């Protein structure tokens, strides 16, 4: 799992995050889903997908529901770790977000995943496949 936190949502953010994901899982050739942001439609990003042997899935125009799972995650993160807190230090906020992503993936049980964590569910799926 790779993620980067930066002050700007730009091409370097997307490219660096993608490269980190490939570094962590060099044999993975998944379907890459994104919205239609300029970062994901650039020739530079398209070439990276092609070099990694991935297919690109994009949400349809005016169909924000296509990004529902990711939007749902951000809603949960905001509700469980952000709302009601005041962050005055950028470093502390980044650490809290990083810690929450680790918690969500490795410790937070989810009914829709048969009362497993996302990583446990993923690992069971890989074993079964």
For residue 127, the surrounding DSSP H or E stretch is helix 118-128
Regarding whether 53 and 87 lie in a shared domain, the answer is no
Of 129 and 25, the structure prediction assigns the larger pLDDT to 25
Domain boundary among 58, 81, 101: 58
Q: Count up the domains in the chain and report the number.
A: 2
Residue span of the structural domain in which 12 resides: 1-58
Q: For residue 56, what are the β-bridge partners?
A: 32
How many angstroms separate the CA atoms of 111 and 20, rounded?
30
Note the pTM of the prediction, 2 decimals. Answer: 0.79
User: What pLDDT does 70 receive?
Assistant: 84
Alpha-carbon distance of 100 to 80, in angstroms, equals 9
Both 39 and 69 in one domain: the answer is no
If asked whether residues 120 and 83 sit together in one domain, one would say yes
> Using 50, 70 and 90 to split pLDDT, how confident is the model at 49?
very high
**pLDDT tens digits along 76-96:** 999 999 999 999 999 999 999
pLDDT tier for residue 61 given thresholds of 50, 70 and 90: confident
Q: Which of 10, 32, 58 is the last residue of a domain?
A: 58
Clarify whether residues 70 and 51 are in a common domain. no
User: Is the Cα dihedral 120, 23, 2, 88 positive or negative?
Assistant: positive
User: Would you say 31 and 57 are in contact if contact means Cβ atoms under 8 Å apart?
Assistant: yes
Distance from C-alpha of 70 to C-alpha of 52, rounded to nearest angstrom: 22
Contact assessment for residue 104 and residue 70, using Cβ atoms and an 8 Å cutoff: no
**Whether residues 120 and 76 fall in one domain:** yes
């Amino acid at each position: 799992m790779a993620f980067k936190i930066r002050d700007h949502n730009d091409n370097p953010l997307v490219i660096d995050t993608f490269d980190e994901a490939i570094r962590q899982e060099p044999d993975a050739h998944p379907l890459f889903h994104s919205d239609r942001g300029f970062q994901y439609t650039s020739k530079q990003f398209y070439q990276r997908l092609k070099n990694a042997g991935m297919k690109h899935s994009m949400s349809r125009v005016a169909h924000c529901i296509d990004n529902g799972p990711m939007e749902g995650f951000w809603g949960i993160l905001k509700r469980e770790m952000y709302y009601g807190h005041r962050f005055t230090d950028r470093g502390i906020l980044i650490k809290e977000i990083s810690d929450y992503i680790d918690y969500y993936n490795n410790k937070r049980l989810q009914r829709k995943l048969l009362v497993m964590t996302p990583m446990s569910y993923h690992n069971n799926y890989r074993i079964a496949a």
